[in-house]
Structure 1
Amino acid sequence: MTSSTTARQASEQGRVLADPNAYADNDRLHEALTWLRANEPVAWVDNPPYRPFWGITKHSDIMDIERDNELWISEPRPLLLPAETEDAVKRDQDAGVGLRTLIHMDDPHHRDVRKIGADWFRPKAMRDLKVRVDELAKRYVDRMVEIGPECDFVTDIAINYPLYVILSLLGLPEEDFPRMLKLTQEMFGGEDDEHQRGEGTTEDILAVLLDFFTYFNKVTESRRANPTNDLASAIANGTINGDLMSDMDTVSYYVIVASAGHDTTKDAISGGLGALIQNPDQLARLKNDMSLMPLAVEEMIRWSTPVKEFMRTATADTEVRGVPIAKGESVYLSYVSANRDEEIFDEPFKFDVGRDPNNHLSFGYGVHFCLGAALARMEMNSLFTELIPRIESIELAGEPEYTKTIFVGGLKHLPIRYSLR
């Protein structure tokens, strides 16, 4: 193979990383990622309307980058956005009215802001919450019985269960849950015809962010005036070096918890059930040995990989796998690819409920490891511990559909036919 042919193929395959349609087509996506891992694991990608970047597809390279959070920083480009949207978001941030969540921040500010909500996701807090999560798991499996023998598992169950958990933890009123769901879908589904606001333009995306900002500014005012025993009050009244957080940082904290705190779990839950249905031997294996549940949950999370990517920018000239990367250039960390890396996982395209070890990167790695990982694992464990023993039969009742996305996504429709005890 000539170098010119290699470059051309790398360009074609690499562009998949910046194509929302590819994430709705698993065969196409994984064919490209498998090729990149084998032939061009550090690939230059230039696919307008996105600014160019280096696509990183190997598990070990992503871990190395995540470890070195001084050489590789989140700002100014923590995730892949169209250039026009990137610029508009930056203008809003400079004006103090945009969103700057934990994923946008670097240490030491990131560390200080993260601490404000960290106690709500520690093991003791999870133990205290487990009774409530178990109750909700039973409620939603009972709901499947009520609406059966068919349902769209995503829209009827997987969306609502984690949404109820996280927004209750925040202390938001239940009548506002549909609004939070819609804003989340519009924010993460900006490239998807079904979920985007309007035409999904930069102006539409900014309007969604402004709606979040307006809503949570009111929450901040309320919780500062009348603190309550919920996560929203902890965020509103959290201080750094004795000072309250800025309005932008406070609102952004709410947004990342209220949106990613349920949407990613929804993707893992629905992706997990979809995998069990399409691998009936693994469903039977789990049903016959429920002690496998913790391992099965990890495999569901690996398999679905709800967060597709984060980006980092080099603070100095460096190299990855011998490829020179200049100061100021950005790398795209493909977690979807890392979670199918043949050097890390035996038979990576096999769904295995007993996979051990399972060193997936679905929660990221290093200082930006997902704050809500323990909660997501607990929610999934509770739901599937309730659901699996009650399944008498289950099958697809139509074609699963995936969200078009660049950042966060998974199944948006999973029609199923079933019988539950």
Structure 2
Amino acid sequence: MSATDHRIPQDVAEQLVNPVAYADGRIHEAYKWLRRNEPFGVADVEGVDPFWVAVRHAEILEISRQNSLFLNGARNPVITSQAADRKVREMMGGSPHLLRTLIHMDEPDHMKYRALTQAWFMPQNLRSMEDRIRVIARAAVDRLLATGGRCDFVSDVALHYPLHVIMSIMGVPEADEPRMLKLTQEIFGAADPELSRAAQAEKDVPIEERQLDFSVITDFFDYYRRFSEEKRKNPSDDLGSLIANSTIDGQPLSDLEAMSYYIIVATAGHDTTSSSTAGAMWALAQNPGEFAKVKSDLSLIPSLVDESIRWTTPVKTFMRTAAEDTEVAGRTVKKDDWIMLCYASGNRDEAVFEDPFLFRVDRKPNRHLAFGYGAHLCLGQHLAKMEMRVLWEELLPRLKSVELDGEPAMSEAVFVNGPKRLPIRFELA
């Protein structure tokens, strides 16, 4: 690794790979220090290969838009320990990837595989789904109101609404949704003692060894292998059937590629939306003035949606690998160097966002990076924003007030995290 004169102080660097720091908010203090003092430096933490850290909006954009220079597939696009990397390479015949999803691909494969499902997630197709999504949203609101004025907004509403939407689009039976939810929480919450599988959550197991649970991947594969076989035998008009019967360059998707496609849609297709929805409710409960503002002017709901996505930034980090020697922020980056893109930091960049630590339902402009940028811009961004808009359109007119009713909590994860508990008290309008 180059640039030894730009080493990040050890105490700051360690926060970048510590799941607990992402749960208790310390990561934002680390980001603030880095934006001021070392906006593109090198983190060297025991047990993890050294990596560059991009914390400013400008550098994250610069790297994200150059997909042939900064690669997803050369190394793991998710921060991982040396021990986990070795284990994956042993299992996968030298490949650093346990899965082969869109986030693990570069061109020309990336666009070929993205094109398989892209039409499903474009605004013109989603408009035809809005009535169906609104029915699901109304059912979610009814469940909330039936709690009698007190609930855990995460477990009672935010987890289940986006899950039901994406599973119905995929063609997964509703009876299997609890299983999909549990597996998603286990894969993204592998380092969280409340969300991970019990065997992985033992306190004496090092954090870096708890960040990847191979048994969860196996369970996902087992489920979707049977699911795919059924969709090939009896295809229907759903996304699952499309994936099961797709071809690339005239050949069916391999088992690994098909299973990976199902997993990325099934997990990212709801978990991040759940987090942003819960993040919005958390912020509104803490900011009664902002709640009153959007309640009195429902035309602000799209702006509320964007602000809650910026505020929560469920995907905290992604990794890129330099394809050749280059320069970023005046620093020399060498071929094969690993780079962490810190989206949650870019979304609090004081150079881009006025008062970035304030939640504003009417924030404009809002050039957040929560969906990424460039070729890897989130495939499901329009669906996520529609789901959230529809839910708030159905829910806000029914609420008179909302406040916290206990201590909320975030999940412990470096890659994808969000609220895991949100006790609220509310009054009906």
Same structural fold, with TM-score higher than 0.5 when normalized by the shorter chain: yes
Change (3 A) 1:17 1:204: closer
SS at match of 2:53: strand
1:90 shift after superposition: 3.3
Corresponding residue number in structure 2 for 1:253: 261
In the alignment, which residue of structure 1 is the partner of 2:205?
A: none
Q: CA deviation at 1:420?
A: 2.2
Partner residue of 1:206 out of 214, 237, 260:
214
2:28 to 22, 27, 30: 30
Contact 1:148-1:417 within 8 A present in 2 as well:
no
Corresponding position of 1:67: 65
Partner of residue 178, structure 2: 178
Paired AA for residue 115 in structure 2: K
Using the TM superposition, give the Cα deviation of residue 204 of structure 1 relative to its aligned residue in structure 2, in angstroms. 6.9
AA matched with 1:234: L
Matches within 5 A, 1:4-403: 10-26=9-25, 28-75=26-73, 76-94=75-93, 98-197=98-197, 198-200=199-201, 201=209, 205-403=213-411
Structure 2 counterpart SS, 1:139: helix
Q: Unpaired runs of 5+ in structure 1?
A: none
In the TM superposition, what is the alpha-carbon distance from 1:247 to its structure 2 partner?
A: 0.8
Contact 2:319–2:341 (CA<8 Å) still a contact in 1?
Answer: yes
Give 1:203 deviation, angstroms.
10
The 3-state SS of whatever aligns with 1:147 is coil
Structure 2 counterpart SS, 1:350: coil
CA contact (8 A) 2:188 2:417 kept: yes
Residues 406, 424 of structure 2: 8 Å contact kept: yes
8 Å contact kept, 2:151–2:424? yes
Instruction: Give the whole-Å Cα distance in 1 for the aligned partners of 2:211 and 2:280.
Output: 35
Higher helix share: 1
Indicate conservation of the 8 Å contact 2:153/2:423, yes or no.
yes
* Structure 1 residues 343 and 16: alpha-carbon distance in aligned structure 2, compared to 1, 3 A threshold: same
1:364 corresponds to which letter in structure 2?
G
Cα distance, 1:318 vs structure 2: 1.4
Per-residue deviation at 1:148?
2.2
Q: Does the CA contact (< 8 Å) of 2:191 and 2:211 recur in 1?
A: no
Structure 1 Cα separation of the partners of residues 89 and 380 of structure 2: 26
CA–CA distance in structure 2, aligned partners of residues 115 and 387 of structure 1: 34
Whole-Å separation in 1 of the counterparts to 2:8 and 2:90: 36
Q: Is the contact made by 1:85 and 1:202 (CA closer than 8 Å) also made in structure 2?
A: no
CA–CA separation in structure 1 for the residues paired with 2:89 and 2:61: 28
- 1-side partners of 2:34 and 2:45: how far apart? 16
Greater alpha carbon shift after TM alignment, 14-23 vs 267-276:
14-23
Question: For 1:199, what is the secondary structure of its paired residue?
Answer: helix
Q: 1:202 to 1:273 in 2, by over 3 A?
A: closer
Aligned length: 417
C-alpha deviation, 1:95, in angstroms: 8.5
- CA shift in 2, pair 1:90/1:420, >3 Å: farther
Q: Supply the distance in 1 between the matched residues of 2:47 and 2:155 (Cα, whole angstroms).
A: 31
Q: Is the 8 A contact 1:118 1:371 kept in 2?
A: yes
Bigger mean CA offset, 9-18 vs 90-99: 90-99
What is the CA–CA distance in structure 2 between the aligned matches of 1:7 and 1:253, rounded to whole Å? Answer: 38
Distance 2:134 2:403 in 1: 25
How far apart in 2 are the matches of 1:93 and 1:117? 26
Determine the C-alpha separation between the residues in 2 that align with 1:172 and 1:315: 39
The answer to whether the 8 Å contact 2:113/2:248 transfers is yes
Q: Distance in 2 between matches of 1:9 and 1:61?
A: 17
Amino acid at match of 1:89: V
Distance 1:78 1:401 in 2: 27
> Aligned partners of 1:371, 1:94: CA distance in 2, in Å?
29
Kept in 1, the 8 Å contact 2:285–2:402? The answer is: yes
* AA of the residue aligned to 1:52: P
Q: Work out the percentage of aligned pairs sharing the same amino acid.
A: 47
> Does the CA-based 8 Å contact 1:10-1:36 persist in structure 2?
no
| 398-407 or 192-201: bigger deviation | 192-201
Residue 206 of structure 2 corresponds to which residue in structure 1?
none
Q: Give structure 2 stretches of 5+ with no counterpart.
A: 202-208
Deviation string, structure 1 residues 43-94 (Cα, Å, up to 9, x no partner): 2112233222111101110111011111100022211112222232334444
Q: C-alpha distance in 2, partners of 1:203/1:336?
A: 19
Partners of 1:180 and 1:15 lie apart in 2 by: 32
Superposed displacement of residue 16, structure 1: 1.5
Question: TM-score, length-normalised on structure 2?
Answer: 0.94
CA contact (8 A) 1:315 1:328 kept: yes
Contact 2:8–2:38 (8 Å) recurs in 1: no
Paired with 2:93 and 2:259, the residues of 1 have a C-alpha distance of 15
SS of equivalent residue, structure 2 residue 107: coil
Q: How many Å apart are 1:272 and its aligned residue? A: 0.7
